[in-house]
Structure 1
Amino acid sequence: MSTDLKSYKFNHSMIRVKDPKESVKFYEFLGMKMINKIEQPEAKFDLYFMGYDSPQALSFGNHFTDREGLIELTHNYGTENDPNYKVATGNSDPGRGFGHTCISVDNLQAACQRLEDAGYKFQKKLSDGRMRHIAFVLDPDGYWVEIIGLNPLEKTEGITTTDVGTYRMNHTMIRVKDIEKTLKFYQEIMGMTLMRTSENPANKFNLYFLGYPGGKGVPGEAADGGSVTADREGLLELTWNYGTEKDESFKYHNGNDEPQGFGHICVSVDDLDAACKRFEDLKVNWKKRLTDGRMKNVAFILDPDNYWIEVVQNESLKESSHGKL
């Protein structure tokens, strides 16, 4: 029994939504399609897996477990009719932790204008503040979706067209307390590779972008000698605010304690049993082992900040992985 970390994929990020019709409509407007839907009427919730699936998409036609960069929308029945229900988006206390998802687009100005023309609200427009190369649009629940250019070095001002078929679901951002501990966890335990680091000492925070080396979309070189990761899917952005690791009482919100919002990230693996055996040998903190509860086909690990990481079988690798036994 063995598992190959190079075959792992950062499959999806889960967020809870109030009204699935409005949320699906929004993410479809971003160019995504519903790749899979899982209905659980006995448990009174449904899951909607949204992702890019045009012929130009990196995972075009793949099984939903054999992809990177999906967004899982979780709908608990009845929330759409509850005037008091709202999610914690992760960007204000007491639910501060998860930050945003991010899409990369062909023509940045045209993509943002299209969203504005459709009536969607922005947390930050391109013209706001000093950073004129990123924007944040708000989904129907108020979650932040960052918008960046597929090629940050390309000048797209003045272009009025945009092709949603070329878009990528680039990354998911979470805030972390102790960057050294967290980087070690995601690299040594989860098998990710550090793709890019952005240090911002003037504002006292750093950003770290990790992903699986087998992921499609190869980082290029930026003008400053750094790497460009905008054409990738399935990256994890860790945001570290200086000094948080020195405060024993400080902690981020994992999205699953009240108030709820963000739920988890998910990694698909070549051999679920072998992967979980390796995690067990490495003495990870479990939220749910494969053998716990009724669902024997998913496990949940806790990262150093108690964010949940779901582990599932990549169904496209199932036969080949079983051949290793």
Structure 2
Amino acid sequence: MRYLHTMVRVKDLDASLRFYCDLLGLQEVRRTENEAGRYTLVFLTAPRNLEQSAAERAPEVELTYNWDAEDYQGGRNFGHLAYKVDDIYAACQRFMDAGVVVNRPPRDGNMAFVRSPDGISIELLQEGRPLAPAEPWASMPNTGSW
């Protein structure tokens, strides 16, 4: 397993970039604009991480800017922790066997979400290529929020 990033929702992307980049010293490494989902993702890293191979880099910070205004309450601005796993189906099965709800099943063989006992959302991503869709995951609905 490999820790990937921590996601934080931001209300003002420009102000957040000034804070994280100009003041804190992080550097933008990639950006994704999603018109259909109406959001922008900006991934930031410490400058020394750029000297490392991808496998050696420390986790990044993902700034998520939702284009439609939202007032984040109750820690909703903190999104999730993300980890790559060797077998997403096996990982989700371990959680289910332990009584943990898989909030967003890995229908695509690539991504799932669970919550910690304290309600922290955890994103699981398949290492390498997505696995072929398989049951019971392919037809399993979302449960709750993540």
TM-score (norm 2): 0.71
Tell me how far apart the structure 1 counterparts of residues 89 and 58 of structure 2 sit (CA, whole Å). Answer: 21
Query: 1:41 and 2:31 equivalent?
Result: no
Task: Determine what percentage of the aligned residue pairs are the same residue.
Answer: 33
Contact 2:89 / 2:109 at 8 angstroms: preserved in 1? no
Tell me how far apart the structure 1 counterparts of residues 102 and 57 of structure 2 sit (CA, whole Å). Answer: 24
Identify the match of residue 18 of structure 2 among 20, 25, 30: 25
Counterpart in the other structure of 1:308 = 121
Alpha carbons of structure 1 residues 296 and 18: separation in structure 2 relative to 1, 3 Å? farther
Counterpart in the other structure of 2:90 = 274
Contact 2:95 / 2:102 at 8 angstroms: preserved in 1? no
Tell me how far apart the structure 1 counterparts of residues 109 and 35 of structure 2 sit (CA, whole Å). Answer: 19
Contact 1:285 / 1:303 at 8 angstroms: preserved in 2? no
Figure out how many residues of one structure are paired with residues of the other and give that number.
129
Identify the match of residue 44 of structure 2 among 24, 46, 50: 50
Contact 2:43 / 2:63 at 8 angstroms: preserved in 1? yes
Counterpart in the other structure of 1:62 = 54
Identify the match of residue 62 of structure 2 among 72, 78, 95: 72
Counterpart in the other structure of 1:201 = none
Q: Pairwise mapping of residues 23-172 of structure 1 onto structure 2 (< 5 A)?
A: 23-29=16-22, 30-52=24-46, 54=47, 56-57=48-49, 60-62=52-54, 67-79=57-69, 86-88=71-73, 95=74
Alpha carbons of structure 1 residues 21 and 288: separation in structure 2 relative to 1, 3 Å? same
Shift of 1:41: 0.8
Tell me how far apart the structure 2 counterparts of residues 285 and 277 of structure 1 sit (CA, whole Å). Answer: 10
Amino acid at match of 1:11: L
Shift of 1:61: 4.0
Tell me how far apart the structure 2 counterparts of residues 24 and 312 of structure 1 sit (CA, whole Å). Answer: 26
Alpha carbons of structure 1 residues 305 and 59: separation in structure 2 relative to 1, 3 Å? farther
Tell me how far apart the structure 2 counterparts of residues 74 and 313 of structure 1 sit (CA, whole Å). Answer: 21
Contact 1:9 / 1:67 at 8 angstroms: preserved in 2? no
Contact 1:287 / 1:308 at 8 angstroms: preserved in 2? no
Identify the match of residue 106 of structure 2 among 287, 290, 294: 290
Tell me how far apart the structure 1 counterparts of residues 118 and 29 of structure 2 sit (CA, whole Å). Answer: 30
Shift of 1:12: 1.5
Counterpart in the other structure of 1:11 = 4
Q: Pairwise mapping of residues 174-323 of structure 1 onto structure 2 (< 5 A)?
A: 255=75, 260-291=76-107, 297-314=110-127, 318=128
Tell me how far apart the structure 2 counterparts of residues 36 and 274 of structure 1 sit (CA, whole Å). Answer: 30
- 1:130-187 per-residue CA deviation (whole Å, 9 max, x = no partner) reads xxxxxxxxxxxxxxxxxxxxxxxxxxxxxxxxxxxxxxxxxxxxxxxxxxxxxxxxxx
Structure 1 unmatched ranges of 5 or more: 1-7, 80-84, 89-94, 96-254
Amino acid at match of 2:14: K
Alpha carbons of structure 1 residues 12 and 304: separation in structure 2 relative to 1, 3 Å? same
TM-score (norm 1): 0.35
Alpha carbons of structure 1 residues 9 and 285: separation in structure 2 relative to 1, 3 Å? same
Alpha carbons of structure 1 residues 280 and 86: separation in structure 2 relative to 1, 3 Å? closer
Amino acid at match of 1:22: A
